[in-house]
Amino acid sequence: MFVNGKYLIGRDFAFPDYKPRFPESYPYMVRRLIAQLEIFISEGRLRGRVIYEIIPRRRLSYIELNAEEMNILSTSHQRDYDGSILRLYFNPPIEASQNTIIEVTYETKPRKGAYFIKPDKEKGDTAQMVWTQGESEDNRYWLPLPDNPNIKFPTELEITVPKGMMAVSNGVLVSVKDLNDKTAWRWVFDYPHSPYLIAFAAGEFEKLESDCNGVKLEYYWPKGRYGDPQVTFAATCDAIKFFSEYTGVKYPYPVYKQVAVHEFIYGGMENTTVTILTDTTLHTKREECPYDEWPCRGREDFSSDGLVAHELAHQWFGDLVTTRDWGNIWLNEAFATYFDALYTLHSRGFDEFVYRLYGNLRAYLDEYRRYSRPIVTNLYSIPEEMFDRHTYEKGSLVLHTLRNIIGEENFRKGIEAYLNRHRFSNADTEDLRKAMEEAYGEDLTWFFKQYVYSAGHPVLKVSWSWLPDESAIRLSVSQAQGDDSYPVYKIPLEVKIVYEGNSEVRLLNIEEKEHVLHLNAPSKPKYICIDPKFKILKVTQFDKPLEEAISELSDEDVMCRIEAINALAKNASPRAVEALASIIEKDPFWGVAVEAANALGRIGGEAAKSELLRLLKRVTHPRVRRSIIDALGNFKGDAEVAKVLLTIANDGKESDYVRYAALVSLGRLRIRDLEGELIKALDYGGFNYVITQGALRGLGELGTDNAFKVVLNYTEPSKPTLVRATAVMALGRFIDRREAVDRLIELARDGQFRVRFAVVATADEVKHPALLPTLDELASRDPDGRIRRLAREVAKRIRDQLERGVEYQRLREEIEQIREEHRRIMEEIGKLERR
């Protein structure tokens, strides 16, 4: 019926030159990889020898390995190498099932894939190290291999490093050899896993070990680095137990290691049995519970639990069972994102869980405003393009919707079957669908077609009225999604109807574009709440009268209270302000208070300001305090607000993140006399330099000449990377200055990923045409695929804006010509009338 629908492709994601990509297939199996690596850390170089035992599936005359920018020293067979593909010839050809050994010796100074870090205490890098990051296709820069997820094999890595350093890799440590001034660490992983999951980290580490139901846990972190691994990784064992029990599949390996490293370019990477993480996640009880005793469940200011749970979930979803190709990467990332949320449900309760999902929805919608695409698509250019909010956050909400449609028990049965059936192998979305259908006992093609193979999401426009003569509710539900979304969704929608003294939940099967339902009711409802438990992926448009929204603030369901807050945010009356202030002070869940504080900030006005200042003296939850402070930044030029925020910014007993928010809001007030205070705060540092970052953002918002000079100085390489990236973003506030544009162009060639990414993000915010050549260069040459994609996307948006500007100018000129022609005609008519 809708074969040619736009929803099958989406909007603004695929560029015209994109061609469909399909899974790789290999005419051989790999029995084992053995790699011997010697690391020359000071030179940023490694020398390697790799040995593969392969078994052909058919007669082969050659084999190809991905090997980017290497110096090939020797090979076991005649070779041909173009700097990217290493081809080894078999003469005579080898027959099917004939075991063959191939060997390659090489040297390389990798531009990516392996990253060499020198200690720099000024920047917070306390130890020397090297670490790898293979996903999606970067391991080929340090290891010759068939670099695609659709092949699996056991691995063995022997890593030789200078004495005094540790080397950590996949699997189990089987030997440590003393080689005088060097040490060789040999790690063996006896299970098949995909090439992008091969990893190592070597450097000056400290180590902690523990046990979790027979699984050996190991934690590594840079010597001298601030943080407490027992606080940072506290959730690990509990999460292993939870995931094992929930999936019905025990943790698949004998050991699990987490290694925190300097300057990591992701939050974490789930290499099989050895997750590598950013060291910025290392923290102490002080950062997690600034106002309470540790642990402070439900009152954390900072936590690593989500990151720990996400990467751990990948050991099942991504490592044990791996996507067949990058077009199906949601099977890895959506599951890890959703299981992170399920662990939140297990460890912190339903309110935290549903608020996490609500955050996922907003993250996806932020991206949806830029483009839409089906979750599973083969129309992309580079694999990194698939690692977006559609894959992670939207994918997690699709899994959540599926769980609610087929039921918890069937969902878990389907997962267990999926994991066991494809254990140590690869899978695609059809494999998941079949497992879920078997568990549910019904066809789910409709579900996957709507939510996985189509772009967009349902948008429900809702209204209701009371029909007293009929003792009935007239409920209107229409599907208002755009043409880049599935035309008409099939949605089992729960509607909560609350009366004076009681309530009921009705299940509506929404299957048409327009639904007008007459629901018998004992009396006029106080309010109606759509999807109170947030079971379905959708956007709801539901305007509410003031008193109805205020009544709904007392509902037991978090999502109903948030629905009410969103309605009240559009109402600037004193009653709305009073109701929102009350919910900030009294609501039992911090997330609802945060939403109410944000709403007060949007409303503005003296009444809202007075309430926010009053609440700041009473509210102690750090995340709610942050939101109140952020809302106060909307009151430009207000000296009373400035005085309160300045006191908080200078208070060493406050949470570092609360102080950060205060400094940003101080800058947003645009009071020039605060310049000196913001500059002074640059020296406060804080956890991961977050207070310094707040001061820089505040100076960017302030926008003075001296602020510009300070921000420019903090983009220098001597500053910590996180601070530099923040300074780059602050430069965007000075984009009308040629010096700011020139510095952004210069920083686009910086060696640090975070700095270059900040340049592109700033370009997206300011959309300055002078940055177009720089964006084009990044789109074609940057070593990181994420930057290449975003740079191309931002360049297109700038060009579109310029084109719209030209079109607007043409339209104005045409209108002026029409006006001039109209004036001339009227003059001629006037002359005729006078005659």
Model pLDDT for residues 164-202, shown as the tens digit of each residue: 999 999 999 999 999 999 999 999 999 999 999 999 999
Residue 531's alpha-carbon distances to 507, 553, 560, 566, in angstroms, are: 9, 15, 8, 15
pLDDT tens digits, 783-803: 999 999 999 999 999 999 999
Max Cα-Cα span within the chain = 114
Q: What pLDDT is attached to residue 551? A: 98
What does the block give as tokens for 199?
A: 């990893």
Give the C-alpha separation, 70 to 62, whole Å: 20
pLDDT tens digits for 424-452? 999 999 999 999 999 999 999 999 999 99
Compute the distance between CA of residue 835 and CA of residue 828 in angstroms, rounded to an integer: 11
Q: What is the radius of gyration, based on Cα positions, of the chain?
A: 29
Per-residue pLDDT band for 3 (boundaries 50, 70, 90) equals very low
d(CA 660, CA 692): 8
Mean pLDDT on 258-267: 98
Strand segments (E) across 235-296: 255-261, 268-269, 274-278
- φ/ψ region of 618 (left if φ > 0, alpha if ψ in -120 to 50, else beta) reads alpha
User: With the C-alpha atoms ordered 160, 164, 167, 172, is the resulting torsion angle positive or negative?
Assistant: positive
Let me know if 235 is exposed, middle or buried by CB neighbors in 10 A (0-12, 13-18, 19+).
buried
C-alpha distances (whole Å) from 662 to each of 145, 584, 706 are 50, 18, 20
Query: pTM to 2 decimals?
Result: 0.95
User: Can you tell me the distance from the alpha carbon of 504 to that of 494, in angstroms, rounded to the nearest whole number?
Assistant: 10
Phi, psi of 638 (to 5 degrees): -85, 115
Number of residues that make up the chain: 835
pLDDT in tens, 361-409: 999 999 999 999 999 999 999 999 999 999 999 999 999 999 999 999 9
Token look-up 């999460």 returns 239
What's the 3-state SS for 122-188? HHCECCCEEEECCCCCCHHHCCCECCCCCCCEEEEEEEEEECCCEEEECCEEEEEEEECCEEEEEEE
pLDDT band at 832 (very low <50, low <70, confident <90, very high): low
Average pLDDT of the residues in 632-647: 98
User: Which amino acid, residue 579?
Assistant: A
User: CB count, 10 Å around CB of 59?
Assistant: 13
Phi/psi region, residue 273 (left: phi>0; alpha: psi -120 to 50; beta: rest), is left
Tell me what the pLDDT averaged over the chain comes to: 96
Q: How far is CA 692 from CA 126, 194, 622, 681, 805, in A?
A: 19, 41, 18, 6, 38
Over 90: is that where the pLDDT of 808 sits? no
- How high is the pLDDT of residue 2? 41
**Of the candidates 496, 568, 571, the residue with the CA atom closest to the CA atom of residue 534:** 496
Domain spans in the chain, listed from the N-terminal domain onward: 324-451, 735-835
Token pair for residue 664?
């940003």
Model pLDDT, residue 707 = 98
pLDDT over 80 (residue 817): no
> On the CB side of 102, how many CA atoms lie within 13 Å of its CA?
29
pLDDT on residue 244:
98
324-451 CATH, one of 1.10.3720.10, 2.40.110.10, 2.140.10.10, 1.10.390.10:
1.10.390.10
**Which residues are registered as beta bridge partners of 160?**
38, 184
* Angstrom distance (rounded) from CA 370 to CA 767: 14
- In terms of Cβ atoms closer than 10 Å to its own Cβ (0-12, 13-18, 19+), residue 623 is buried
Assign 120 to helix, strand or coil: strand
The pLDDT of residue 37: 98
In the chain, the amino acid numbered 633 is G
Q: Express each pLDDT in 18-67 by its tens digit.
A: 999 999 999 999 999 999 999 999 999 999 999 999 999 999 999 999 99
Residue 217 has a pLDDT of: 98
216-225 mean pLDDT: 98
Q: Between 816 and 618, whose confidence is greater?
A: 618
Q: Per-residue pLDDT tens for 670-693?
A: 999 999 999 999 999 999 999 999
pLDDT recorded at residue 821 = 63
Helix axes 395-406, 330-348, angle to 10 degrees: 70
**Coil, strand or helix at 81:** strand
| Residues in CB range of 824: below 8 A, 6 or more apart | none
Q: In whole angstroms, give the CA distance from residue 159 to residue 629.
A: 50
